[in-house]
Amino acid sequence: MKILTTIEELQEVRKEISSSVGFIPTMGALHDGHISLIKKARAENDIVIVSIFVNPTQFLPGEDLDKYPRRDEADKKICQMCKVDYLFMPKITTMYEKEEVLIKAPNRSYVLEGETRPGHFDGVLQVVLKLFNLVKPTNAYFGKKDAQQLSLIIQMVKNLFLDINIIACDIVRESDGLAMSSRNVYLTPEQRSEALKISKSLRKAGELVGKKQLNVETIKATMKEVMSGLDIEYIAVVNRNFEELTQVELSNTIILVVARFGNTRLLDNLWL
């Protein structure tokens, strides 16, 4: 595995690659969820490139940019064990100049995650587009846990005519059902135990749909009962375009949950 830190190094490497490239953009603090993306990319491509970059433009004032977990040495070892070919680890000054051409996310980026974090998805799309232009991947791999982000990246690729396949990958969970997240390290033992109510509520929602209960308000009410005692930021039932539904549409529905545990926000969802 070769570690690259500059634009010039990455561009030089990319010129020499004529076969398929699988790309996994990350913010580091790699866990089994990331590893599953890397393994899938390794199985489906000749060359695998991973980036680690904690992107400042997607953090709002007062968010956890400075506290975001950074484990560079451990991440390097994980990438090496997963047979990554190239690891791109740029500095902020490498990726951004003082004055930038900006990317504007569409209006639907201001619901759900974007409602409480206005401008967050502008920053996400900005850095992903930069990375896509540098890496020029054949396939790029993203987890379904960040469902709204995934949907907007798919739209960006379509709207800007990028020749990239976006591969959506299922959520990877701990053995007890908690969705893998770099922010799980912030949880106290008590909070972590309580956080299991999130995945339990989604399993219950899935059971209801399996029994042909498709009414959204009924499903939400049941989920709230399961998550009793939690600080629920939102429960949303939307279609793939993130439009609210009153009835579940099979093969076109995502149930999303965000709950807070102190200063930590946990996301989870169920695709139906």
> Can 120 be counted among the known catalytic residues?
no
DSSP 104: -
257 is in an annotated binding site: no
* 146 assigned binding-site residue: yes
Distance set, CA 177 to CA 73, 160, 180, 196, 203 (Å): 28, 37, 9, 7, 10
Contact 37, 157 (CB under 8 A): no
From first CA to last CA, the distance across the chain in angstroms is 38
Residue 27 contacts residue 68 (beta carbons within 8 Å)? yes
- State the Cα–Cα distance between residues 52 and 84, nearest whole angstrom: 13
The whole-angstrom separation of Cα 171 and Cα 178 is 10
Please provide the size of the chain in residues.
272
184 touches 178 (CB < 8 A):
yes
Q: How far apart are CA 75 and CA 190, in angstroms?
A: 28
272 is in an annotated binding site: no
* Residue 181 is labelled as binding a ligand: yes
Q: Tell me if 28 is assigned to a ligand binding site.
A: yes
Look at strands 139-143 and 253-261 and give their pairing. Answer: unpaired
Find out whether 143 is annotated in a ligand binding site. yes
Query: In this structure, are residues 269 and 144 in contact, taking their beta carbons and an 8 Å threshold?
Result: yes
144 annotated ligand-binding residue: yes
DSSP state letter for 182: G
Q: Annotation-wise, does 183 bind a ligand?
A: yes
For residue 149, say whether it is annotated as part of any ligand binding site.
yes
The single residue of 34, 40, 130, 265 carrying the catalytic annotation is 34
Angle at which helices 120-135 and 147-159 pack, to 10 degrees?
60
User: CA–CA separation, 107 vs 111, rounded Å?
Assistant: 8
Q: Where are the alpha helices (DSSP H) in 145-188?
A: 147-159
Residue 31 annotated as lining a ligand binding site: yes
Bind-site residues for ATP: 27-34, 143-146, 172, 180-183
Bind-site residues for (R)-pantoate: 58, 149
Bind-site residues for beta-alanine: 58
Give the residue numbers annotated as catalytic, written as ranges. 34
Bind-site residues: 27-34, 58, 143-146, 149, 172, 180-183
